Amino acid sequence: MRDVKLIVPKDSLDAWNLDIDIIDGVPVYLPYSRNTQDQRAALAAYMVKGTIPGMPDTGVDWAQLYQQNTTILNIDNDIKQNIQNYAGTPDSATQSYTPVYTQDEKGIHAVIYQSS
């Protein structure tokens, strides 16, 4: 099973956005079934709570962190729980993914690494 490939346009340095890769009117699938878990793990980490219609409690409550109503530990737990719930695929064993955080003048950055 392979998901549709999601892309980040190369020219979006400041205005980040996510899109479906479509060529000649047809969505492109991920090249390997294994990539499905990787893409799902990344989406599970970055999905903002309340952005999916009909699923208001799904996602990570990033807004609470920026409003200083929660801690990075709570966000980390949300991310790990989302990855566990949404990254798996029926046709393969679930891989382990680890979020790693950095902070700079632009804010907090999260990167998801596959651990072995």
pLDDT digits (tens, 9 = 90+) for 38-64: 899 999 998 899 888 999 999 999 889
pLDDT tops 90 at residue 76: yes
What type of residue is 7? I
State the Cα–Cα distance between residues 54 and 68, nearest whole angstrom. 26
Tell me if 43 sits within 8 A of 88, measured CB to CB. no
Q: What is the pLDDT, as a whole number, of residue 16?
A: 67
The helix or strand, by DSSP H or E, that contains position 108, with its residue range, turns out to be strand 107-115
State the Cα–Cα distance between residues 42 and 86, nearest whole angstrom. 10
Mean pLDDT of 96-112: 88
Q: What is the pLDDT, as a whole number, of residue 20?
A: 87
Mean pLDDT of 12-40: 84
Residue linked to tokens 């479509």 = 22
